[in-house]
Structure 1
Amino acid sequence: MSGSPFPGMDPYLEGEMWQEFHDTLANQIRAQLLPLLPHRYVALLNKRYVIDQPALGIVAVPRRRTMYPDVHVVEPPRAKETATAVYGVTAPALEAINPLPDEVPVLSVEIRDVADRRLVTAIEILSPVNKRGDGALDYFNKRVALLQTETHLLEIDLLRQGTRIELIGELPPAPYYVYLSRFTRRPRTEVWPISLRGPLPTVPVPLLPPDSDVPLNWQAAINACFELVGYERLLDYTQPSPPPDFSEEDATWVKEQIEERLAVTVVPTL
């Protein structure tokens, strides 16, 4: 099997391979844009660290009963023998996991003006940490700050879990979205709902006037990630896809795509 069995976003990437895929995708976007940008611009990778607080909960680890009276303190011998007391301690009922926050690296792509290093367009690939807990608040604050500047903001949400970008009005239901906020048209935002069953769109990347937009082919970027890394070798398509669950209709379609690809790759024995 070569490449993803899905025509667009591969939902199996939303699991444990996400962080690796996210970084590879950011690099592919940059590589795709660099030859298209006018000479006055450059595409750079920006790495920041976001504090991710794990979901709170107690994981109980039962302990075996231990007879602690056998534990005692050994003191150096004294000139004269003295009686020592042995104290017993009560064993804890369980051990719990302390939810320590993690620092998660998040890559984004920045289009900057070479002359003054001005940030022209920010391209954000949303991660799980951007869509839950304190990380969602951190991203919200960053987003608000960007929207108050003369910077274009292009966001892609390839995760079905977590909170969505809040906009006025109801969007068509879709598993994935692309959002483009041009600073010249705010507060309006262009939105591309992305179907599970079709390829990802090619969207415009705006620059400074009078320069024209350059195209960003999201599907080509994802395909390039598969060609470079071979994620189809790392993803276990025999297991259920990462949560959330699909509708019954979509689950059937996902199963059919996988079975069709696996059937094609079966080599008959002679």
Structure 2
Amino acid sequence: MPSPFPGMDPYLESYLWPDVHSALANKIRQQLTPLLRPKYTARLEVYLAEDSFPDGEIGILYPDVEVLEAPKRPTAETAPGSTLTITPPKLSLPVPQAVQVRLTTVEIRDTAKNRLVASIDILSPINKREPGLTTYRQKRQRLYQADVHLLELDLLRRGTRPFAQPRLPEVPYCIALTRAQAKQIEIWPVELATTLPVVPVPLQEPDPDVPLDLQAVLNAIYDEAAYDLSLDYDQSPPPPAFSDVDTDWLQKQLKNS
């Protein structure tokens, strides 16, 4: 069963996102490989990132847990040798526990020297808030200094875009391409009601860009993973809340699907 949305499905921005992230990376490699060979390969680079402050994702990306616990009404105590009475605590809070997040990047490498030519990064919530935001921006700078093309797929509404700037339009989703040694970033703003674009994946000069059909990638993984069996479209999509205009469109789209 296909998604009820023509472009990005906002309901995928939930606990399913880790699976969506990995599936997108794998499907992107499948689509690009026939266009790249024999001169280039697409490789999946998997790494672990530590989410030190996962509280904001509780109930969205991570399982909902009880974060507050009322203490068992301890009795007031007087310290030995003192007339002062110790005030019992009003709340007991769990010690923050870091969460290990698995992230997958698609790397385009030349087959002659295994040189990294382009990196396709699918942004996750950890990349869009501190301290992960600063860490990811440092990675962007390293790639730029190494003359590596960077294609960033931001298909999440929450968080701060690492390539954010005042002239960037306010849209739910955004694709950004920073070519090696370029002075400008190419941007594809994506509205809720529009399909995902076909974007270029740059290679080494003088080889031309190869096309990446993002909508075809998303449609394929939605069907293969049977996400429709896990999503409850009778509920509201994950936060942040949509504008009134987008909310009205979303409800009509679901009603007509």
Common fold: TM-score over 0.5: yes
- Superposition pairs for residues 82-97 of structure 1, below 5 Å? 93-97=90-94
* 1:190-201 equivalent positions in 2, closer than 5 A: 190-201=186-197
Q: 1:238 aligns with which of 216, 234, 239?
A: 234
- Give 1:187 deviation, angstroms: 1.8
Q: Distance in 2 between matches of 1:37 and 1:201?
A: 20
- Corresponding residue for 1:181? 178
**1:116 CA displacement:** 1.1
Percent identity between the aligned chains? 46
Mapped partners of 2:242, 2:165: distance in 1: 26
Rg: which structure is higher?
A: 1
1:118 alignment partner, one of 115, 120, 123? 115
Alignment check: 8 A CA contact 1:51 1:134 kept: no
| Separation in structure 2 between the aligned mates of residue 56 and residue 113 of structure 1, nearest angstrom | 41
Question: Are the counterparts in 2 of residues 33 and 43 from structure 1 also a CA contact under 8 Å?
Answer: yes
Match of residue 48 from structure 1: 47
Contact 1:32 1:216 in 2 (8 A): yes
1:128-147 mapped onto 2 (5 Å cutoff): 128-147=125-144
Please say if residues 48 and 105 of structure 1, whose CA atoms lie closer than 8 Å, have aligned partners that are also in contact: yes
SS in 2 for 1:110: strand
Please give the alpha-carbon distance, in whole angstroms, between the structure 1 residues aligned to 2:183 and 2:229: 43
Instruction: Report the CA distance between 1:55 and its aligned residue.
Output: 4.9
How many residue pairs match? The answer is 238
Whether the 8 Å contact between 2:133 and 2:162 is mirrored in structure 1 is no
> In 1, distance between residues paired with 2:237 and 2:116?
37
TM-score where L is the length of structure 1: 0.83
Other structure's SS at 1:143 match: helix
Q: Distance in 2 between matches of 1:161 and 1:168?
A: 16
Q: Which runs of 4+ in 1 moved over 6 A?
A: none
Match of 1:59 in 2: 67
What's the CA shift string for 1:154-211, capped at 9, x where partnerless?
A: 0010011101133555022211111111114x12111100111011000010111111
2:148–2:179 Cα contact (<8 Å) kept: yes
Give the TM-score normalised by structure 2. 0.87
**How far has the Cα of 1:63 moved from its partner?**
3.2
RMSD: 2.1
Letter in 2 for 1:23: S
Structure 2, unmatched stretches of 5+, are 57-65, 76-86
